[in-house]
Structure 1
């Protein structure tokens, strides 16, 4: 009886709410303002494209007006229509527009504004980031695609770079990163300090930390799926802007009512202007590289000169066509480029160092989709991706008395095609079936040589060419109701290079316990055939910025990686409070000491495993225009290798405690954000013994019995941002922003290593001394942005 009365009370309350009456009076009011006022008055939310709304003017007056009557009057006076998703959410589309992207997007969302505006939680458990709707974040003036991920619990960057995305203890090369279906192998500019993806072309970024969909394969950690805009505008739209590191422009051109073409370009301008922000980033990036070269000068009074140049750029293009009302086709193109040149000279010794590096990542994709009937949708995707790293270094001393040469080439060619069909059994249940084929060719070539008085003294070369074909069949069961969300899938993979068939089960389940609480759990198993190995041969001349190369699995010294992850948690959502608590456990096998960065402590590849367990916590609360959220992660990330202790020790990127507290406030056209980060310092290994041999060569013996037993000081910093938006005219908008990283200029230490430095002793003989080398984080770093959109 009590249950029936409760249901009756809820129904009555909903009825009263839905029939709420408000006095309405709008006279030549911009429709955008009308919608905002309506959201406030009736407690509803609208999703729409601001660009198509902003020109409309609306006039209407009525006492005791109901929401349904007001929406009907807006539809009568304009070309827009309202589509109701539930009692709270609506999406708005043009009556002449056939696309239902906004409905499709909202229909997948479970929790809106999961952290801040533009970040939502999907029913599959994945996190969706919409850059165009994203509020200003601490330390950012623009919605950087990768930096935005770091406010999500479980996503960290121990090396303080944008591209260094570590998801629940997984390393960056264990993440699957897709850009319009193209696999990308180099994610950053300026050695990872800036994301390689233009945020103004991006429609959505989907992050999966666990319970990954069965359609994703061949990586053992997280998935970052970047999708670009699919809008066919009524007129030419775009934007251009400038900050203290680069300039960019984006334009979207309608060719007809069914087709559109978009372009974007970004480029640094450090060749002719080095700003204070660029200099700060440069100091952070090149500090150990420069020190390694300068420390070879025995007499510290000797003068030297340095010419250090760096530039980067990226370009994208996309063609979209709606072949019919239910069929679409698109072509996407991406190209990123990084180039560095360094010339270091010591005139008195006739010492000359020259380093050059070129890194390119280019890709193309085709995507076809057709809804053959009300229940069946077909999709075919094909892509090609190529990655090239080309590095060379030369050193000469005293009229070529001694010369050294080092070079490194790493090339990847990756091509793939996939087909999947989605069949809707009913309005709650879908079945997804598909097939993937990928073919990856990899090559690396490492060379080192030195000559004395023109006579060749030593030559070394390591190279390998390899290829692997992967065939995958996958299926997924999706169930979505008010109380249950279930994504259960299986993926079968066959890897040709090692002739192995593997099975990957995937599961994400969420159960609504009551109106406010939900229980969730996930399970997944993954495999990976392509890894990055650490190489030290080409770093002999001091280059340590890009010492990783992609290499194929061979089931010998580079085994097949395998991960298993289990998680469970509770989600609370009520009265603008959101609390998400999720503990997890992850095990990774098939690791090697060289792929994990411990080969400086053993001369051989050493097989091992990793165990990671932790808990991610998010607490989020909104008060009118102010929002605050706390992100906390506890992680234990342990590795074990046969030749290194053969016992578990902290991983290089192990961060036991990570805490951040962020704030965002919007006041009219201004947005403010402030955030503080505090975390455990990175682990490092102490020196056990240092000595000079009889021949005068230095020996640094690290404490291999206690790897990573010590910790650097705890890391903390305070970041802030502010933006102001304004109108130049009816169709032109501007944005001005300023951000400051590390406001109180904390000198955080990111890593600690050791070098042997040549000196002259009291007997006037050459000897080496041990030097502790600390890589220090960014100091106080301001940035300014100016942007125009039309």
Structure 2
């Protein structure tokens, strides 16, 4: 039945809403493809025990037909569905909820330009207002914020590492995830930390039959398996590993040259990559396991674990007057986490959820300088543990009240050791936060209006400090086609990332996690408000969102400066306001969309002159679009994106005087890099194999025109010419990739 639903959705641009277990085992002969939609629905309803109801012309709700027996009057049967404002946003599998949040269902995800896999962190960058200033998934900017200002959760576990290959690949297995929710504003009061955005990833919850997926592309290979152990128990396991340490594909070479340019792994004199065939060994992997158990009629138990690791082993060698010299350097990065989840449905009005999670992140490196005997060791680790209790009470059919408590204990450690000259630094801090949450969610009887209000009260024990964080989400649909949303929130966070030196951690990772001390490293706090409008019919979709956001408590070390502010420690704020527009048109088998976003993002560091100047992450104008053909087993997408260049700080003069200690700069971020332009292509085809299996092949090309886009520029002193020379960082060149996936 689900296969039939998918064919009808593609043919008519409609969407079926159903409960998984009600249709999972329903099988019939498909209706005649030549029949119109109404007759196909009539055919399905008359040959199954399912009832179909068409809502607003494009949504079809599916439910079990009522049984003959009449239930007792006090026994009510209700089906609750998330209110969805836009079902097909950019592509199949992405929707925009009534409250403004975005919902991605990877297993239903259509094709997007440049992607071969349903990589969640790459996919979310197609949404207006979300981008990466350096095209990595470890530097995702939501409305001008930095990556560390986003809260990333995997099954309730806070993740401090989100990428493989030092940011070019998502650390989350693309074939495992069931649901991803993305919030740019108006988040639930149950989400703490993350002053910019929230990305909540859920996997393994669907109660389906046993399935296995085996997949591979030109970088990695992996599998995931879901085992139905009984009617009430499911076990899911996944593993993925790179092939980069024994298979050097063209995709790998492009990725390698992109990440390791201008680092210790490359020759800074001519910016040429060292011979990776002999001098480096690199690989990554990720593992997950999840167990779900229905306990009795009212309880659910879920246990989820995840392990992520990157490892780089670098060997440098040269011949000197004293003979052959060889040095070995290493860089390791890992994140391990576990979450225990218990849910009890006391009755049809009361539900209690309790969960405990633990997350541990570690980044360590050892650098042996080939030019001398110096050895530098660095380590950054985070231990984050949390307890959450939530009770949901439904006051009326369309009004619920939720209350809860959270406890979060976060410890951050930073170590550094140098043998020559002898230097040792050790720093560890812990912050404990208690939070009380109260939230109300109300919907009008006609479902055209909704209001969610929340209040989060944080008490930070170490600082004896209370922080109140109100949240608001409101929507109203005027005629079923035109909808208005209003969102506002205040948030805070105590853990952020900073850059001490650009050469830290071999110059590859650079950023380390630090924790607020309420003085030199303040608590970051944000305020944001937004008003948005959506208009849609069967063929057109237009969304128009306007926002303003201010974040206090940022530091210069957390903004990755490479100019006169690189070694200056200042605290300040940034304010960003902007507009995001999307226009989408459905032509049946072909649909297209174009988005435009504009934002004004300015720093304010009061102790510096001038105090206000453009942010390092300001993208003033961004345009992207795609044309997608999606018909049954064949899909193709051609898209492009253009945006204005990031800010750069230029020297007053590139010629240095003999007594000049260094480069003298103009005001920070006084100029901009050239515009960025990229064309991307994807093609996929699916074959039916075995009785219940599918085989899919996907091919994609990033930067089809091989544009040489500069995404960063800084200046350094050339001692031979006594001048300031520029060092450019280039985006990926033309990068092909091939993905093969077998689902059985």
Normalised to the residue count of structure 1, the TM-score between the two structures is: 0.86
Which residue does 2:457 correspond to in 1? Answer: 492
Which residue does 2:102 correspond to in 1? Answer: 127
Distance 1:563 1:578 in 2: 31
2:574 aligned residue (605, 610, 623):
610
2:243 aligned residue (248, 269, 283):
269
State the secondary structure of the residue aligned to 2:113: coil
Question: Which of 175-184 and 623-632 deviates more?
Answer: 623-632
**Cα drift, residue 543 of structure 1:** 2.5
Which residue does 2:739 correspond to in 1? Answer: 785
1:312 and 2:284 are equivalent in the alignment: yes
Which residue does 1:633 correspond to in 2? Answer: 597
1:717 and 2:678 are equivalent in the alignment: yes
2:258 aligned residue (275, 284, 298):
284
Which residue does 2:346 correspond to in 1? Answer: 372
Distance 1:731 1:694 in 2: 75
Preserved CA contact (<8 Å) 2:716 2:726: yes
**Cα drift, residue 91 of structure 1:** 3.3
State the secondary structure of the residue aligned to 2:560: coil
**Cα drift, residue 291 of structure 1:** 7.4
**Cα drift, residue 305 of structure 1:** 9.5
> 1:295-320 deviations in whole A, cap 9, x for unaligned?
299xx9x9999602211000000000
Which residue does 1:772 correspond to in 2? Answer: 726
1:417 and 2:387 are equivalent in the alignment: yes
1:428 and 2:398 are equivalent in the alignment: yes
Structure-2 change in CA distance of 1:771 and 1:242 (3 Å)? same
Structure-2 change in CA distance of 1:179 and 1:706 (3 Å)? same
Q: Name stretches of at least 5 consecutive residues in structure 2 with no aligned partner.
A: 68-77
Which residue does 1:455 correspond to in 2? Answer: none
Which residue does 1:744 correspond to in 2? Answer: 705
**Cα drift, residue 487 of structure 1:** 1.2
1:503 aligned residue (468, 472, 475):
468
**Cα drift, residue 247 of structure 1:** 0.3
The equivalences for 1:148-163 within 5 A come to 148-163=123-138
Distance 1:628 1:137 in 2: 11
2:312 aligned residue (326, 340, 352):
340
1:223 and 2:194 are equivalent in the alignment: no
Distance 2:216 2:435 in 1: 44
Distance 1:220 1:64 in 2: 46
Structure-2 change in CA distance of 1:488 and 1:156 (3 Å)? same
State the secondary structure of the residue aligned to 2:369: strand
> 1:396-415 deviations in whole A, cap 9, x for unaligned?
44xxxx32121210111111
Distance 1:461 1:788 in 2: 52
> 1:441-494 deviations in whole A, cap 9, x for unaligned?
1100123343xxxxxxx2333331100111001111111232211111111001
Distance 1:578 1:65 in 2: 24
Distance 2:336 2:165 in 1: 17
Which residue does 1:525 correspond to in 2? Answer: 490
Distance 2:651 2:31 in 1: 78
Distance 2:37 2:602 in 1: 64
Which residue does 1:563 correspond to in 2? Answer: 526
**Cα drift, residue 355 of structure 1:** 2.3
Preserved CA contact (<8 Å) 1:305 1:346: no
Structure-2 change in CA distance of 1:489 and 1:63 (3 Å)? closer
Distance 2:634 2:18 in 1: 21
State the secondary structure of the residue aligned to 1:56: coil
Structure-2 change in CA distance of 1:595 and 1:95 (3 Å)? farther
Structure-2 change in CA distance of 1:160 and 1:142 (3 Å)? same
Distance 1:60 1:616 in 2: 42
Question: Which of 435-444 and 622-631 deviates more?
Answer: 622-631
Structure-2 change in CA distance of 1:59 and 1:393 (3 Å)? closer
> 1:175-209 deviations in whole A, cap 9, x for unaligned?
00000000000100000100000121101110000
> 1:320-340 deviations in whole A, cap 9, x for unaligned?
001133321100000000001
State the secondary structure of the residue aligned to 2:107: helix
Question: Which of 639-648 and 118-127 deviates more?
Answer: 639-648
Question: Which of 661-670 and 132-141 deviates more?
Answer: 661-670
Which residue does 1:100 correspond to in 2? Answer: none
1:45 aligned residue (16, 21, 31):
16
Preserved CA contact (<8 Å) 1:306 1:344: no
**Cα drift, residue 123 of structure 1:** 2.5
Distance 1:178 1:110 in 2: 24
1:667 and 2:631 are equivalent in the alignment: yes
Distance 1:31 1:159 in 2: 40
Preserved CA contact (<8 Å) 2:642 2:677: yes
Which residue does 1:707 correspond to in 2? Answer: 668
Distance 1:56 1:223 in 2: 39
Structure-2 change in CA distance of 1:348 and 1:383 (3 Å)? same
Distance 1:126 1:303 in 2: 46
Preserved CA contact (<8 Å) 1:690 1:700: no
Q: Name stretches of at least 5 consecutive residues in structure 1 with no aligned partner.
A: 1-29, 97-102, 451-457, 760-766
Distance 1:753 1:388 in 2: 29
Question: Which of 315-324 and 728-737 deviates more?
Answer: 728-737
Preserved CA contact (<8 Å) 2:41 2:52: no
1:328 and 2:328 are equivalent in the alignment: no
Distance 2:36 2:632 in 1: 28
State the secondary structure of the residue aligned to 1:391: strand
State the secondary structure of the residue aligned to 2:569: coil
When the two chains are superposed, the root-mean-square deviation of aligned CA atoms in Å is 3.0
Which residue does 2:613 correspond to in 1? Answer: 649
Structure-2 change in CA distance of 1:647 and 1:441 (3 Å)? same
Compare CA radii of gyration and give the structure with the larger one. 1
Preserved CA contact (<8 Å) 1:712 1:749: yes
Which residue does 1:15 correspond to in 2? Answer: none
Structure-2 change in CA distance of 1:109 and 1:604 (3 Å)? same
Structure-2 change in CA distance of 1:607 and 1:536 (3 Å)? same
1:201 and 2:201 are equivalent in the alignment: no
Distance 1:200 1:228 in 2: 10
Which residue does 2:144 correspond to in 1? Answer: 169
1:117 and 2:79 are equivalent in the alignment: no
Preserved CA contact (<8 Å) 1:156 1:167: yes
Preserved CA contact (<8 Å) 1:296 1:758: no
> 1:238-288 deviations in whole A, cap 9, x for unaligned?
100110000010100111110011100010011111100011100101111
**Cα drift, residue 557 of structure 1:** 1.1
Normalised to the residue count of structure 2, the TM-score between the two structures is: 0.91
Distance 1:55 1:348 in 2: 74
Distance 1:618 1:391 in 2: 44
State the secondary structure of the residue aligned to 1:149: helix
Preserved CA contact (<8 Å) 1:304 1:344: no
Distance 2:384 2:40 in 1: 53
Distance 2:715 2:685 in 1: 46
Distance 2:260 2:386 in 1: 37
**Cα drift, residue 725 of structure 1:** 0.1
Preserved CA contact (<8 Å) 2:5 2:16: no
State the secondary structure of the residue aligned to 2:463: coil
